[in-house]
Amino acid sequence: MSQEPQSIAPWASPVARARIAEVAAGFTDLSLDGVTGTVRRALGEHARRFDDEGIVLYAGTNVMSPAAQRVSEPLVSARPSMGWPGEKYQTGLDQLDILEVLAPTLVARLVGARFAEVRSQSATFANLAVYTALAAPGDTIAVLPQRAGGHTSHHAVGAPGVRGLRVVDLPYDVGALDVDLHALPEFLEDQRPRVVVIGASLLLFPHRVEAIREITEAAGAVLVYDASHMAGLVAAGRFQRPLAEGAQLLTFSTYKSFGGPPGGVIATNDADLAERVSTMVFPGLTANYDAGRLAPLAVTAAEIHQDGGAYADRCVANAKAFAAALHDEGFTVAGADRGFTESHHVAVDAHLLGGGRAAAARLAAAGIYLSAVGLPWQNDDDPAGDRGLRIGTQEVTRRGFGPDELRQTAAWMAEVLLRDADPDAIRKAAADLRTGLLAR
């Protein structure tokens, strides 16, 4: 067991290697008791930081509802389950059949689809299944540029590269914050992609899906909308309805604004596409899938349906209020000419604050957690890195934040980033705000 810390990832960056070494140096007791104690302390501190005291504005996360948490069963997740109900490889799983029929039925109903494939462990796998079903090695797919929210799982460094695909950036209209509709027809004519992927890791305003589909249709490409971030709004009938508007496939993560367990979904109204992508999920990319995840997924989907859009509306109203408050504090907030946002996302240009990463690190010291993000008006290879800060209101909304708490949060962000305040004092005040809301 004497493992050199460097052997974990000697290829990682110096910053990552230093942190790995620091963590490993803290392991003084690798006995069962020692490891159990180490794990318990880490989980306890993590829960305190995020669940009890922190202001989590990271856009790609959420907390499952109490009802969904109550049906989460790690022991079911640890049981293999392979194949369709009625023809499973294992015997005795009839009760899991119920979950496996219930979850996709409820998810499909929410997003306006005939079919939902819910067995992917992540949206990245869901996207890989889509690429694999629709494009052969050497084929081209067209995706949003990284600076415009194109995700790793859309780009050659990620899933499309695994399939050996050629990836090209869609023409982008910075003014419209959307695909450049004027340049798109000629671009598709030149590049001939099999698949066009829209939907982004930062999405302030809806895509013009209907117009984009008309153009992709004429070019013979399949239009995929990756709603990983927007799924909670889409499922509530808010923001936009990608399938009704013309996207042929909808993929998404189930743990971001959707608020369920981690996982990926592929939904469609097209029976042929449904069969092709589903066959890539199983038996293509998954053998035994996690049936335990499907219980909280089903409950989360039922909650979204029963809620009638109230949570989604609060998330969007909170984002608008937060954006306005940040603007009033003196931040440069994206989308100012269009009311800042129509989703639960807000973006701040942190170019003058040392860039997104540096600003996010300073806020983390104050107990405010979020991430950097590329902004459409930067260069992909900007040496300063991602120049934006990305904010999502989906978690704080669930924690009981309204416009008052968000105005206070915006003021704290201004203290830290614009006026160099002591982050420790703000971390304590932020924890008090969270604790006060919990007690309410």
Ligand X SMILES: *Cc1c(COP(=O)(O)O)cnc(C)c1O
Nearer to ligand X by Cβ, of 227 and 323: the residue is 227
The CA distance from 90 to 81, in Å, is 7
Residue 60 in the binding site for ligand X (CB under 6 A): yes
The SS3 of residue 13 is coil
Helix 310-329 and helix 403-418, axial crossing angle in degrees, nearest 10: 40
CB 255, min distance to ligand X, A? 7
Asked if 86 and 95 count as a contact pair (C-beta separation under 8 A), the reply is no
Nearer to ligand X by Cβ, of 153 and 397: the residue is 153
- Sign of the CA dihedral with 299 first, then 302, 307, and 312 last: positive
383 φ, ψ (degrees, to nearest 5): -60, -25
CB 196, min distance to ligand X, A? 14
Residue 124 in the binding site for ligand X (CB under 6 A): yes
Alpha carbon distances (Å) from 166 to 131, 140, 157, 158, 189: 11, 5, 11, 12, 16
Binding ligand X by CB under 6 A: which of 213, 229, 238, 345? 229
The span of 8-16, 65-73, 118-126, 173-181 binding ligand X (CB under 6 A) equals 118-126
Binding ligand X by CB under 6 A: which of 62, 146, 201, 393? 201
Asked if 54 and 395 count as a contact pair (C-beta separation under 8 A), the reply is no
The SS3 of residue 261 is coil
Gyration radius of the chain over CA positions: 22
CB 156, min distance to ligand X, A? 15
Residues 254-293: x where in contact with ligand X by CB under 6 A, - otherwise, as a string: ----------x-----------------------------
Nearer to ligand X by Cβ, of 259 and 264: the residue is 264
Binding ligand X by CB under 6 A: which of 38, 61, 77, 122? 122
The SS3 of residue 391 is strand
Contacts of 285 (CB under 8 A, 6+ apart): 120, 125, 128, 129, 132
Binding ligand X by CB under 6 A: which of 123, 134, 142, 375? 123
Strands (E), 32-81: 55-56
Nearer to ligand X by Cβ, of 168 and 197: the residue is 197
Quick one: which of 436, 409, 439 has its CA closest to 55?
A: 409
Binding ligand X by CB under 6 A: which of 119, 147, 151, 238? 151
Nearer to ligand X by Cβ, of 256 and 362: the residue is 256
CB 280, min distance to ligand X, A? 15
CB 120, min distance to ligand X, A? 8
Nearer to ligand X by Cβ, of 122 and 286: the residue is 122
Residue 343 in the binding site for ligand X (CB under 6 A): no
Residue 153 in the binding site for ligand X (CB under 6 A): yes
Binding footprint of ligand X on the chain (CB under 6 A):
60, 122-124, 151, 153, 199-201, 226, 228-229, 253, 264
